[in-house]
Amino acid sequence: MNCCQCEGIETLFNRKLAVRELKKYRRKGPSQTTRLLIGALQAEGVQGLTLLDIGGGIGAMGHELLAAGVSRATNVDASTAYIEVAQEESERRGHGDRVSYQQGDFVELAPEISPADIVTLDRVICCYHDMEALVGLSAQRATKYYGVVYPRDNRWFKVARPVINLFLWLSRNPFRMFVHPTAAVDAVVRKQGLQPRFQHNTALWQVVLYGR
């Protein structure tokens, strides 16, 4: 990742935001789109499978799927604060020994990251400029299922993205948001031998589960 985006991630996804998200998660559970992806995975069956959650944030995907029967999880996240908060929450929930954490840019770390039965990127593709590398390398590591939540390339995000990026620029944060074309993301995933099994669109996001 270019160092500006890394710096931006550390500034934006900081401890304060992570703690706020964790409190919300404890009160209300995972977000709607995370729940949709978890539901689609559970419908396929997750018992005993392994999970690689890229950009896992506070770890909601991992916490929920470990409780649902996943055997082990790995959370790779570029934000130091989110990794720390996710790790603390795993210990609190009593499954700390079944989760491993790696801080950094997944694309750079990819050669040392093992494949998993399930690979998820929940609202992460929009944080990264090189979609082909992020999606291609992560899909390659999914031995059974590949789940993604990413922005729809509809008019809402076409309007929202420049506004969000202007706000980030005004607040001197080098982080930028990206809306990659759906057809391009889908083509990269299919190139890795995966086919869609579930799709649900909300006004802003698309939730897609692929399988081998």
Ligand X SMILES: C[S@@+](CC[C@H](N)C(=O)[O-])C[C@H]1O[C@@H](n2cnc3c(N)ncnc32)[C@H](O)[C@@H]1O
Q: Which is nearer to ligand X, 20 or 195 (CB)?
A: 20
Q: What does the longest C-alpha to C-alpha distance in the chain come to?
A: 47
Query: For residue 10, which phi and psi values (nearest 5 degrees)?
Result: -60, -35
- Which listed residue (105, 138, 175, 198) binds ligand X by CB under 6 A? 105
Is position 64 an interface residue for ligand X (rule: CB under 6 A)?
no
Q: Check if the beta carbon of residue 58 is closer than 8 Å to that of residue 88.
A: no
Per-residue string for binding with ligand X, 110-149, x by CB under 6 A?
Answer: ------------xxx--xx-----x---------------
DSSP 110-164: GGGPPPEEEEEEES-GGG-S-HHHHHHHHHHTEEEEEEEEEE--SHHHHHHHHHH
Q: Interface with ligand X by CB under 6 A: which range of 56-64, 111-119, 151-159, 200-208?
A: 56-64
**Other CB atoms within 10 Å distance of the CB of residue 142:** 23
Q: Rounded distance, CA 180 to CA 75, Å?
A: 23
Size of the site for ligand X (CB under 6 A): 23
Q: Which two tokens stand for residue 207?
A: 């939730």
Per-residue string for binding with ligand X, 7-26, x by CB under 6 A?
Answer: --x---x-------------
- Shortest Å, Cβ 32 to ligand X: 11
Q: Interface with ligand X by CB under 6 A: which range of 87-95, 102-110, 140-148, 170-178?
A: 102-110
Is position 175 an interface residue for ligand X (rule: CB under 6 A)?
no
Is position 54 an interface residue for ligand X (rule: CB under 6 A)?
yes
Is position 89 an interface residue for ligand X (rule: CB under 6 A)?
no
Query: For residue 208, which phi and psi values (nearest 5 degrees)?
Result: -130, 130
- Which listed residue (82, 146, 198, 210) binds ligand X by CB under 6 A? 82
Burial of 210 (0-12, 13-18, 19+ CB in 10 A): buried
Is position 77 an interface residue for ligand X (rule: CB under 6 A)?
yes
The Cα angle at residue 65 between residues 120 and 24, in degrees rounded to 5: 90
Which residues of the chain form contacts with ligand X (CB under 6 A)? 1, 9, 13, 34, 54-57, 60, 76-79, 82, 105-107, 122-124, 127-128, 134
